[in-house]
Amino acid sequence: MAVNLKQLAAELQLSTSTVSRALHDSHEISEETKKRVRALAEKLGYQPNPYASSLRKHRSKTIALVIPEIDNNFFTLAINGIEDIAQTKGYHVLIYLTHEDLQKEIAISTHLKSGRVDGILMSVTSETSNIDHLESLYKTGIPLVFFDRVCESIPTAKISTNDYESGYNATKHLFEAGCKRIAYLQISETLSISKKRLQGYKDAVSEFEGFTEEMIVTCSNSDELNVETIKKLMQHDNPPDGIFASIEKLAVSCYYACNFLNIVISDQLKIISFSNLSTAPLLAPSLSTITQPAFEMGKKAAEILFDIIELKPNDDFEKNIILKSTLVGRKSTATKKPDVSPANSY
Amino acid sequence: MAVNLKQLAAELQLSTSTVSRALHDSHEISEETKKRVRALAEKLGYQPNPYASSLRKHRSKTIALVIPEIDNNFFTLAINGIEDIAQTKGYHVLIYLTHEDLQKEIAISTHLKSGRVDGILMSVTSETSNIDHLESLYKTGIPLVFFDRVCESIPTAKISTNDYESGYNATKHLFEAGCKRIAYLQISETLSISKKRLQGYKDAVSEFEGFTEEMIVTCSNSDELNVETIKKLMQHDNPPDGIFASIEKLAVSCYYACNFLNIVISDQLKIISFSNLSTAPLLAPSLSTITQPAFEMGKKAAEILFDIIELKPNDDFEKNIILKSTLVGRKSTATKKPDVSPANSY
DNA sequence: TTGAAAGCGATACCAT
DNA sequence: ATGGTATCGCTTTCAA
């Protein structure tokens, strides 16, 4: 077993209190003693038991990250930002995946009331419409920050992007590329960000002449199923000539469906998608994207969370942080047929 | 604050021992009492303090996952497998990113000796050549399992793939596609998997006639720098006509470099890469890959780790698990010029 | 500057 | 079947 305070103290002929204080560099301990203590601690590889200390201090120096999935470039980049901040603050990160399953989100939320963590960063599942579990979690007083997939009605900090505007702009972009009939692909009807993106789409559709009908397609969690759904969509009597994918993976499914049906993207069908895909410029054809500042969002979310954790009781903090996404037009929405020249934009 | 055992006990007019046992469904507690206890616990939303329990039981029900980076499809899929098993076993997962920085790996290894976790899953950094910190960590007796980027000389369980064979096959594949001069791209000269892949490459190079020279290019951690390195490689007097990228991100950098230089992949240069990119079949041209069973590797690593954690002192466990990668040839190594027909293979 | 001792919350041994 | 109590390892108040 690892060495503990008591053993250190015994070896040094000191009390545990003195050793503890020495290791915390307390000013009420002589330099002399500190040196001796540190030397032995170093020599024996002493590591304080974090559970004993957490129990005593009611502080775990740990945060929870609750996200729907991990094989997703957005979350992956966000984690980089989160971990960056957590590491500099000396915090540990527990990761929980809900796999878009509301029941898992509920179970995790319930568990987190135990005090295992000092704060929680969360992006809710696509199924989360009933939010009793989140309200209950919020009420425990554990600092809670939502990012991207936020829960609007909980009065805590939220980091999101200009989703309405992005939805509007993406649709407008397709319109300007010559589309007459644009489909909107989503995975959820309840998510607040989904609704905002959709509203942007709807408003653009009603604003630009020639757009008479909305085509809203709600997909599933299965990529295979989604490819089939999109195939059917494209084999419709009156198929769309533009697709706005509100989620990266739906754009990938579109590409697969089009390849299967020999539909030439950009020529017969234009596609734009929310995406953080590093290979977007390299696809055939390169994919036009709305890219969220994922890393910055994760970073900001973590920063705000630590602000709240370290807050004095009556301090206040920023509740609604909106970062901006960037639209990058590429060949998938080009007005001319894609030529053979290479894609250079990163 | 959350309610604790003592308060439950007081409310129920029972001792804490009884309440604790009731909640653990001990056979020595009457059904009657169990019901009362559970009812109140439920009503008050009692959640046991995990730190108190960990302190007492010397068990944290937590494992650590230490990986070099997260924006990497291999690790992302592996995490899915790991989390899958951890969740069914009721374990929590702490995630630590080293960002390929040996110093961070050392700091994390040192910290993990504290007993914060019951076991560790690790994939070492590309810089890890001195392994004192890992040996020292191993010696503490905390169950440790390496996956993918294993540390050979530590006698614990390791999950890897048939890297030598894959390296050989990839090189052979390029040779059979007509390449005469094949470059090997890597990010590390010390990683055991890197060495094995390289040895496979070397052996194939020396075996197939026409191959006279090895071209080994060691890249950095920066994608921008790597693109420059590859550009230089291609602008060489005698540039390669085939590239074997031992890491996914290097293949992506190759595509960028070729686009920049107007080099037509598959025609002027053939590329094959280790990769778990979901968009490999959609790239221009579709990328030939050696794909590791990332999800299964994560799953297997976690399973073995829990086996070790739950082991009786003298039990033994499998030390060297090798799963197989799959080579999928696509247009980037096709012998004919890529045509316009779509990529259909997933 | 240092030490003694209480206590964080749950568990488990020893009683009854 | 239930209760009393020591204990896990560390922090912190109070005393010296």
Residue ranges and CATH numbers for the domains of chain A are 5-48 (1.10.260), 58-160+294-323 (3.40.50.2300), 163-292+328-333 (3.40.50.2300)
Judge residue A307's burial from the number of C-beta atoms within 10 Å of its C-beta, 0-12 exposed, 13-18 middle, 19 or more buried: middle
Q: Decide if A286 touches B, using CB distance below 8 A.
A: yes
> Which residues partner with A316 through β-bridges?
none
In the stretch 16-45 of chain B, residues with CB closer than 8 A to chain A read 45
When CB atoms are compared, the residue of A73, A92, A113 closest to B94 is A92
Residue nearest to nucleotide D9 (CA to C1'): A52
CB contact under 8 A, B259 and A282: yes
In chain A, the N- to C-terminal Cα span, in Å, equals 52
Nucleic strand C near CB of residue A60 (< 7 Å):
no
Bases of chain D with protein Cβ within 7 A: 1-5, 7-13
Instruction: Please say whether the beta carbons of A181 and A148 come within 8 A.
Output: no
Cβ-count burial A283-303 (b if 16+ within 10 Å, e if not): bbbbbbbbbbbbbbbbbbbbb
What's the CA B56/C1' D5 distance, rounded, in angstroms?
A: 15
Nearest to A325 by CA among A290, A300, A299, A280: A290
What's the CA A145/C1' C1 distance, rounded, in angstroms?
A: 44
Q: Decide if B222 touches A, using CB distance below 8 A.
A: no
CA dihedral B299, B301, B303, B304 (to 10 degrees): 160
Nearest to B242 by CA among B338, B196, B173: B173
When CB atoms are compared, the residue of A51, A55, A283 closest to B284 is A283
Amino acid in position B227: V
What's the CA B34/C1' C13 distance, rounded, in angstroms?
A: 21
* pTM of the predicted model as reported, rounded to 2 decimal places: 0.94
Distance from CA of B323 to the nearest CA of A (A): 21
- What does the pLDDT read at residue B341? 45
Cβ-count burial A332-341 (b if 16+ within 10 Å, e if not): bbbeeebeee
Q: Which of B279, B283, B331, B341 to mutate to test the interface with A (most CBs of A within 10 A)?
A: B279
- Report the chain B residue with the minimal C-alpha distance to residue A78: B71
Nucleic strand D near CB of residue A27 (< 7 Å):
no
CB contact under 8 A, B259 and A344: yes
How far apart, in whole angstroms, are the C-alpha atoms of residue A213 and residue B92? 48
Q: Decide if A311 touches B, using CB distance below 8 A.
A: no
Q: Decide if B343 touches A, using CB distance below 8 A.
A: yes
| Secondary structure (3-state) at A237 | coil
Q: Percentage of residues in chain A with pLDDT exceeding 70?
A: 94
- Report the chain A residue with the minimal C-alpha distance to residue B249: A278
Q: Decide if B47 touches A, using CB distance below 8 A.
A: yes
Angle subtended by helix axes A294-309 and A73-89, to nearest 10: 40
CB contact under 8 A, A60 and B77: no
> Which residues, at least 6 apart from B30, have a Cβ–Cβ distance to it below 8 Å?
none
Nucleic strand C near CB of residue B26 (< 7 Å):
no
Q: Which secondary structure element, helix H or strand E, spans residue B295, and what is its range?
A: helix B294-309
What's the CA A339/C1' D13 distance, rounded, in angstroms?
A: 77
- What does the pLDDT read at residue B210? 62
Q: Hunting for tokens 């039990």 — which residue is that?
A: B315
Q: Decide if A155 touches B, using CB distance below 8 A.
A: no
Amino acid in position B207: E
- Report the chain A residue with the minimal C-alpha distance to residue B80: A70
- Report the chain B residue with the minimal C-alpha distance to residue A253: B279
Distance from CA of B213 to the nearest CA of A (A): 30
pLDDT, tens digit, 9 for 90 and up, residues A123-157: 999 998 899 999 999 999 999 999 999 999 999 99
Q: Which of B69, B72, B95 to mutate to test the interface with A (most CBs of A within 10 A)?
A: B95
Judge residue A78's burial from the number of C-beta atoms within 10 Å of its C-beta, 0-12 exposed, 13-18 middle, 19 or more buried: buried
Q: Is the dihedral of CA B56, B62, B63, B67 positive or negative?
A: negative
Distance from CA of B150 to the nearest CA of A (A): 22
Nearest to B319 by CA among B143, B186, B177, B194: B143
Q: Decide if A12 touches B, using CB distance below 8 A.
A: no
Cα B237–Cα B239–Cα B241 angle in degrees, nearest 5 = 155
| Positions in chain A whose pLDDT score sits under 50 | 338-346
Nearest to B321 by CA among B305, B309, B335: B305
Instruction: Please say whether the beta carbons of B129 and B99 come within 8 A.
Output: no
Residue nearest to nucleotide C5 (CA to C1'): A17
Other CB atoms closer than 10 Å to residue B340's CB: what's the count?
A: 7
Q: Hunting for tokens 């009657």 — which residue is that?
A: B32
Nucleic strand C near CB of residue A225 (< 7 Å):
no
Bases of chain C with protein Cβ within 7 A: 1-5, 7-13
Q: Which of residues 52-91 of B touch strand D (CB under 7 A)?
A: 52, 55-56, 58
Residues of B in contact with A79 (CB under 8 A): 70, 95, 97
For chain A, list the strands marked E by DSSP: 62-67, 92-97, 119-122, 144-147, 157-161, 182-186, 215-218, 242-245, 270-274, 288-291, 320-323, 326-328
Q: Decide if B2 touches A, using CB distance below 8 A.
A: yes
Instruction: Please say whether the beta carbons of B166 and B326 come within 8 A.
Output: no
Judge residue B136's burial from the number of C-beta atoms within 10 Å of its C-beta, 0-12 exposed, 13-18 middle, 19 or more buried: middle
Nucleotide nearest to B29 (CA to C1'): D1
- What does the pLDDT read at residue B211? 59
Spacing of C-alpha B279 from chain mean position: 19
Residues of A in contact with B284 (CB under 8 A): 282-286, 343
Q: Decide if A76 touches B, using CB distance below 8 A.
A: yes
Cα B87–Cα B90–Cα B91 angle in degrees, nearest 5 = 80
Q: Which of residues 48-67 of A touch strand D (CB under 7 A)?
A: 48-49, 52-53, 55-57
How far apart, in whole angstroms, are the C-alpha atoms of residue B187 and residue B246? 8
| Positions in chain B whose pLDDT score sits under 50 | 338-346
What's the CA B15/C1' C16 distance, rounded, in angstroms?
A: 14
Residues of A in contact with B70 (CB under 8 A): 76, 79-80, 83
What's the CA B53/C1' C4 distance, rounded, in angstroms?
A: 26
CB contact under 8 A, B116 and A92: yes
